[in-house]
Amino acid sequence: MKLIQGTSPCGKYRPLLDSYLSNELLVETTHDVMRHLDGCASCRFELDERMRVRAGLRKAVGSVAAPPELRGRILTALEAPGRAAGMPGPSGKAGWMQVAAGVAVLLFSGLLFEVLVRNPGQFEALLDLAWHQHEGCTVAGHYPAEPPTEAKMRHDLGAHYEALLPVMQTELSDYRIRKAHICRPGGREYAHFILQKGDALVSVSLLKKQDGEALGRPVAPSARQGGQLTAFETGTHVAFVMGNVGAAEAERVAIVIRPGVLAAGL
Amino acid sequence: MTIPMSSTESRRAEFESAALPHLDDLFRTASAMVGNRTVAEDLVQETYLEAWKSFHRFETGTNCRAWMFKILIHRVHHYRRKWYQWFSKTTSDELLVDNLTYEAPIPEGIEDEELLKALEAIPEMFRVIVLLADVQEFAYKEIASMLEIPVGTVMSRLSRGRKHLREQLLAIAPGFTHPSLPAHRTESRSL
């Protein structure tokens, strides 16, 4: 760290105020700063301002409370079969692969368990809805022969969903976007993307949740006849990733686009 | 001392006793870092599952709170790895003495929501350190360990994070213009 100091007394002490505020200075330096503060109204005022902002910040962040049910969810997840942790795991590369596979299985089985227990009917209904309304795009390969231009895709997505386009372009750069538009099968509006990589076709669709609709948990995989469906949930939407790809690829697509979808405010 | 291998029940009880009291602080920090309560819930749950899985490596008597936060930071980093490079170890961080210029007072009566909005607006690499230092009161050394960056970088990012936060607060204060603009340099507000 390079410290560029001024020549005035304040120039010497003002840079130390942050560490003084954090109680991170040596005792001798602390005394030096205190002596300076005794005789310098300007630095005292500056310190008071920083303390006031810090106190306000603590109060504001402290006003955010964890949802009451979160503790119960964590305890339930810890109880999941096979989660006898707190013990040394396997070592070496093979061991870590076992650990990774185990974590994935536990995570997704835990998530699915949670989803199915919490709201089995709605969960299945949402996945069925999405699958039946979009399976033709991917399983049957219904998409234009010529890929659309970016301008057309933005136009077809509209102002509310065009922010998703760079998410797909960036995170799924190994795929080519064959269609991006708004569709309304069954009277519900979807922002819909069809992506292609060789023989692999993936459809990503976002459905705005209606009152009370919820998957319950994000990133939920589900095998379907002729393909794979993975869903995740944001505050306002449910996103469906489906295609003629395997479960691992569908999950990967869901996981890599999810941060971007959230960052796009959906 | 490494935790002795007793029954799963006793380890669970020990884990819950040591880790669960930090649930609210972990959630608050996660929520402020990712700006989304649903994601924050997931990250905190993942943090507890990962902590429980590694609990045999936790040494009784050491700082469980710092350990849990370190796991949370890694979960958040993993979550955002595609979007932010806020763990990048820059070597050019400098503690500049650039704060002797006129510092406008923060107006009174700032609401919690405005403070949270201002916090959310500052860059991630600074926000996390402001949260850990100013809200959770971790020492510089603990933060450096959590983020795997030098203590000097913690200091410079905290300084800049506080400055960013202050600028954001000034920006959202009604009727106030940032003093760096020459036309308004004489404007001031009394506390």
3-state secondary structure of A221: strand
A59's tokens: 């109060």
The residue among B8, B21, B32 whose CA lies nearest residue B116 is B32
Any CB–CB contact under 8 A between B96 and chain A?
Answer: yes
Quote the pLDDT of residue B86.
39
Beta-carbon separation of A262 and B133 below 8 A: no
Same-domain status, B76 and B89 = no
Residue A82 placed within a domain: no
Q: Identify whether the C-beta of residue B178 lies closer than 8 Å to the C-beta of residue B184.
A: yes
Same-domain status, A31 and A137 = no
Mean pLDDT of chain A: 75
Beta-carbon separation of B134 and A73 below 8 A: no
3-state secondary structure of B123: coil
Give the pLDDT band (50/70/90) at residue A164. Answer: very high
User: What is the Cα–Cα distance from B157 to B176, expressed in whole angstroms?
Assistant: 26
Any CB–CB contact under 8 A between A34 and chain B?
Answer: no
Quote the pLDDT of residue B84.
43
Closest to B96 (Cβ–Cβ): which among A4, A57, A83?
A: A4
Beta-carbon separation of B103 and A46 below 8 A: yes
What's the CATH code of the domain at B15? 1.10.1740.10
Residue A84 placed within a domain: no
Same-domain status, A255 and A202 = yes
Q: Identify whether the C-beta of residue B28 lies closer than 8 Å to the C-beta of residue B71.
A: no
User: What is the Cα–Cα distance from A32 to A17, expressed in whole angstroms?
Assistant: 11
Average pLDDT rounded to a whole number, residues B139-152: 92
Residue B1 placed within a domain: no
> Is the model more confident about A169 or about A139?
A169
Residue A1 placed within a domain: no
| H or E, element range at B12 | helix B8-19
A130's tokens: 């999405």
Task: Say if residue A79's pLDDT is above 90.
Answer: no
* DSSP bridge pairs for A2: B94
- Only one residue has tokens 């007793």, namely B6
Task: For chain A, report the end-to-end CA distance as a whole number of angstroms.
Answer: 40
Quote the pLDDT of residue A81.
55
Same-domain status, B93 and B48 = no
List chain A residues with CB under 8 Å of B55: 85-86
Beta-carbon separation of A15 and B162 below 8 A: no
Same-domain status, A15 and A106 = no
Domain that holds residue A127: 93-263
Same-domain status, A58 and A107 = no
Residue A127 placed within a domain: yes
Same-domain status, A109 and A230 = yes
Same-domain status, A248 and A146 = yes
How do residues A209-263 score in pLDDT, each as one tens digit? Answer: 877 777 655 555 666 666 777 888 777 888 888 888 877 788 788 888 888 888 8
Residue A191 placed within a domain: yes
| Boundary of a domain, candidates B52, B80, B108 | B80
Same-domain status, B172 and B120 = yes
Average pLDDT rounded to a whole number, residues B10-38: 89
Same-domain status, B124 and B98 = yes
List chain B residues with CB under 8 Å of A54: 134, 162
Residue B190 placed within a domain: yes
Neighbours of B138 (CB within 10 A): 22
User: What is the Cα–Cα distance from A165 to A127, expressed in whole angstroms?
Assistant: 23
A190's tokens: 């979807």
Number of domains in chain A: 2
Pairing of strands B94-95, A2-3: parallel
Average pLDDT rounded to a whole number, residues A141-164: 85
Of the candidate ranges A119-128, B36-45, B123-132, B134-143, the one whose mean pLDDT is the lowest? A119-128
| Boundary of a domain, candidates B44, B59, B80 | B80
| Boundary of a domain, candidates B57, B80, B103 | B80
Residue A48 placed within a domain: yes
Q: Identify whether the C-beta of residue A1 lies closer than 8 Å to the C-beta of residue B156.
A: yes
Same-domain status, A19 and A145 = no
One-letter identity of residue A220: A
Give the pLDDT band (50/70/90) at residue B152. Answer: very high
Residue of B nearest to A106 (CA): B49
Give the pLDDT band (50/70/90) at residue B14. Answer: confident
Same-domain status, A13 and A125 = no
Quote the pLDDT of residue A65.
87
Residue B54 placed within a domain: yes
> Is the model more confident about A75 or about B7?
A75
User: What is the Cα–Cα distance from A14 to A37, expressed in whole angstroms?
Assistant: 10
User: What is the Cα–Cα distance from B47 to B27, expressed in whole angstroms?
Assistant: 10
Same-domain status, B159 and B173 = yes
Closest to A63 (Cβ–Cβ): which among B36, B39, B112?
A: B112
Quote the pLDDT of residue B99.
38
Quote the pLDDT of residue A138.
57
List chain B residues with CB under 8 Å of A65: 24, 27-28
Return residues 152-171 of B near A (CB < 8 Å): 152-153, 155-156, 158-159, 162, 165-166, 169
Any CB–CB contact under 8 A between A41 and chain B?
Answer: no
Task: Say if residue B183's pLDDT is above 50.
Answer: no
For residue B132, give how far its alpha carbon lies from the nearest alpha carbon of chain A (Å): 11
Give the pLDDT band (50/70/90) at residue B48. Answer: very high
User: What is the Cα–Cα distance from B130 to B133, expressed in whole angstroms?
Assistant: 5
A143's tokens: 């998409």
Residue B22 region by backbone torsions, left for phi larger than 0, else alpha for psi between -120 and 50, else beta: alpha
- Only one residue has tokens 């000034």, namely B170
Same-domain status, B102 and B128 = yes
Same-domain status, A119 and A187 = yes
Residue of B nearest to A51 (CA): B134
Q: Identify whether the C-beta of residue A261 lies closer than 8 Å to the C-beta of residue A234.
A: yes
Number of domains in chain B: 2
Quote the pLDDT of residue B135.
94
Return residues 195-254 of A near B (CB < 8 Å): 217-218, 233-235
Residue A97 placed within a domain: yes
Which of the given ranges, A95-99, B102-106, B120-124, has the highest pLDDT on average? B120-124
Torsion of CA A156, A157, A159, A161, to 10 degrees: 180
Residue A74 placed within a domain: no
This complex has an ipTM of 0.73
| H or E, element range at A179 | strand A176-183
For residue B96, give how far its alpha carbon lies from the nearest alpha carbon of chain A (Å): 6
Share of chain A above pLDDT 70, in %: 70
User: What is the Cα–Cα distance from B27 to A45, expressed in whole angstroms?
Assistant: 33
B137's tokens: 């009161």
Task: Say if residue A195's pLDDT is above 80.
Answer: yes
Quote the pLDDT of residue A113.
37
Share of chain B above pLDDT 70, in %: 72
Average pLDDT rounded to a whole number, residues A190-199: 88
Share of chain A above pLDDT 90, in %: 14
Residue B22 placed within a domain: yes
Quote the pLDDT of residue A224.
63
Average pLDDT rounded to a whole number, residues A144-169: 88
Quote the pLDDT of residue A75.
85
For residue A152, give how far its alpha carbon lies from the nearest alpha carbon of chain B (Å): 26
Query: Concatenated DSSP letters for B35-76?
Result: S-HHHHHHHHHHHHHHHHHTGGGPBTTS-HHHHHHHHHHHHH
Same-domain status, A36 and A127 = no
Instruction: Report residue A202 CA to chain centroid gap.
Output: 20
Domain that holds residue B136: 85-191
What's the CATH code of the domain at B121? 1.10.10.10
Residue B2 placed within a domain: no
Average pLDDT rounded to a whole number, residues A27-52: 90
Quote the pLDDT of residue A220.
59
User: What is the Cα–Cα distance from A51 to A31, expressed in whole angstroms?
Assistant: 18
For residue A67, give how far its alpha carbon lies from the nearest alpha carbon of chain B (Å): 8
